[in-house]
Amino acid sequence: MAASQDNPTTTTAITEGMRRQFHRDGFLVVPNALETEDVEILRREADCLINYLISENINIMTDYGGIIEPITCGYIDPPVSQMFILSKKSYSHVRDQVPEEPDSVLHILFEKVPAMVNNFLPLESEDDPTCLFNEQYIVKTPDSADISSFEWHQDSQYMDTSAQEAFPVVSCWIALDNVNLKNGTLLVEPFPRPKDATTGNYIDPPTQFQERDTYIRYHKHLASHYVNPPSNKMTAIMKAQHRPSLQPPPPSPSAVGAGSTTGTLPNDPKEWVCESQPPVLVEVPAGSIVFLSGWVRHCSLGNSSSKFRRAFMPQYSAGKVITSTGGMVSLAVPCNEYDEREREWVDPRGRMQSQEDELIDDGDGFGRTDDLEFGDDVEMED
């Protein structure tokens, strides 16, 4: 299992330039984003779950596709109540049963990562709180190159269509081992870069979107300009830039001032001409985070090294993701529950009952199966 790897005990502040870079490229790599102590907590939990599955004779790659979901992987009994899908307190209670030691991942899930990912979602409000949408460990076993690579995809394609059109979701892919070309890292294709059709000048994006629909329209439009990715990944790797350079480049001089900070589109996107960007090979130290828009295209490589490659990937949504018919897609756990509402939610004879009415308990431990569009497809496979 993983060797110890040095990781500076610093937490990266997200700057305005990094926010703009995220909306321009559809992703952002932040090296050493987590402190060493937090990386160790996640590694210990990953190892605990890996060892459990091995002890149960479960093949992590062929049986689980490399995806280990802490609550549903079998390590704990299925929750009796469905409230954990909607409530931070209930989720925390269930989630705290997973690790075998006092250190909990909850402060990482609900505080540290949200503090960063909020920079890349529309402005949070009480009506549209930042929610934990999903979480999983993504493990590539040693010498598994032939079965542990994953094809090009966009994470939004795993969501119900109406939900993907309404709710921005950002995946936070956290490297728990140093990742590189050999052990199965990510290859990300940045959004095609828009130019003004008349002047030919690059158009820089806003630093933040206020509304969900404007955010989705912007990201979806840029992604619509993707051309087919190379069918041979080696071709893409040959073209790839290696990125942890990670200082965001300044906006191109021609584009300064073109983007708004308020989320207003600077021009009609239909009039943009978009220029393809070369893929980026993510080679970063453990503790680094790759923030991925649901619309950015990426794939991952196989693990040909002799060690496990571990990653942890929580995903966060702007608002509680529901389908057009009102069903739950996955989790919808607000990272910040407002005090008054929290008190109501935890009263078993009061608000909690009305919240449970939003779900149909079919005994599968995960809400209403007919509206759980993820099912097996929830596995993002990176």
- Decide whether 129 or 184 has the Cβ nearer to Fe ion: 184
- Decide whether 155 or 177 has the Cβ nearer to Fe ion: 155
**379 scored as a contact of Fe ion (CB under 5 A):** no
- Decide whether 373 or 382 has the Cβ nearer to Fe ion: 382
| Ramachandran bin of 200, using left for φ above 0, alpha for ψ from -120 to 50, beta for the remaining angles | left
Least separation in angstroms between CB 380 and Fe ion: 4
Question: Which residues are bridge partners to 318 per DSSP?
Answer: 130
CB pairs under 8 A, 24+ apart, for 365-370? Answer: 365/72, 365/78, 365/79, 365/82, 366/72, 366/82, 366/85, 367/82, 367/85, 367/327, 367/328, 368/327, 368/328, 370/327
**Segment interacting with Fe ion (CB under 5 A) among 76-84, 111-119, 149-157, 272-280:** 149-157
**281 scored as a contact of Fe ion (CB under 5 A):** no
**Segment interacting with Fe ion (CB under 5 A) among 3-11, 97-105, 151-159, 175-183:** 151-159
Least separation in angstroms between CB 210 and Fe ion: 27
**Segment interacting with Fe ion (CB under 5 A) among 132-140, 154-162, 202-210, 243-251:** 154-162
- Closest alpha carbon to 85 in 159, 155, 135: 135
**382 scored as a contact of Fe ion (CB under 5 A):** yes
- Decide whether 362 or 377 has the Cβ nearer to Fe ion: 377
Site size with Fe ion, rule: CB under 5 A: 3
Least separation in angstroms between CB 138 and Fe ion: 9
By CB under 5 A, name the one of 25, 38, 135, 155 that touches Fe ion: 155
- Please work out, in degrees rounded to the nearest 5, the angle formed at the alpha carbon of residue 134 by the alpha carbons of 42 and 100: 35
Question: Which residues are bridge partners to 290 per DSSP?
Answer: 29, 173
> E strands, 294-347, where?
297-300, 309-318, 333-334
- Decide whether 90 or 171 has the Cβ nearer to Fe ion: 171
Question: Which residues are bridge partners to 171 per DSSP?
Answer: 292, 315
- Closest alpha carbon to 148 in 97, 108, 182: 182
Least separation in angstroms between CB 279 and Fe ion: 14
- Closest alpha carbon to 67 in 133, 2, 141, 132: 141
Least separation in angstroms between CB 298 and Fe ion: 6
- Decide whether 283 or 382 has the Cβ nearer to Fe ion: 382
**371 scored as a contact of Fe ion (CB under 5 A):** no
Burial class from Cβ neighbours inside 10 Å (0-12, 13-18, 19+) for residue 238 reads exposed
**Segment interacting with Fe ion (CB under 5 A) among 26-34, 54-62, 128-136, 150-158:** 150-158
**Segment interacting with Fe ion (CB under 5 A) among 62-70, 259-267, 317-325, 373-381:** 373-381
Binding to Fe ion in span 219-238, by CB under 5 A: none
C-alpha to C-alpha distance for 328 and 2, rounded to whole angstroms? 36
Question: Which residues are bridge partners to 179 per DSSP?
Answer: 284
**Segment interacting with Fe ion (CB under 5 A) among 100-108, 155-163, 184-192, 336-344:** 155-163
Binding to Fe ion in span 159-188, by CB under 5 A: none
Counting runs of H as helices and runs of E as strands, what totals does the chain give?
10, 14
- Decide whether 38 or 382 has the Cβ nearer to Fe ion: 382
**189 scored as a contact of Fe ion (CB under 5 A):** no
Residue number, nearest CB to Fe ion: 380
- Report whether 269 contacts 221 (CB < 8 A): yes
**Helix segments in the chain, DSSP class H:** 16-25, 36-55, 88-95, 106-107, 113-117, 161-164, 212-223, 233-239, 339-345, 351-356
- Decide whether 128 or 155 has the Cβ nearer to Fe ion: 155
- Decide whether 337 or 382 has the Cβ nearer to Fe ion: 382
- Decide whether 18 or 380 has the Cβ nearer to Fe ion: 380
**380 scored as a contact of Fe ion (CB under 5 A):** yes
Least separation in angstroms between CB 188 and Fe ion: 10
How do strand 241-242 and strand 280-281 relate by DSSP bridges? Answer: parallel
C-alpha to C-alpha distance for 12 and 291, rounded to whole angstroms? 13
Residue with tokens 């018919």: 325
User: Which residues here bind Fe ion, judged by CB under 5 A?
Assistant: 155, 380, 382
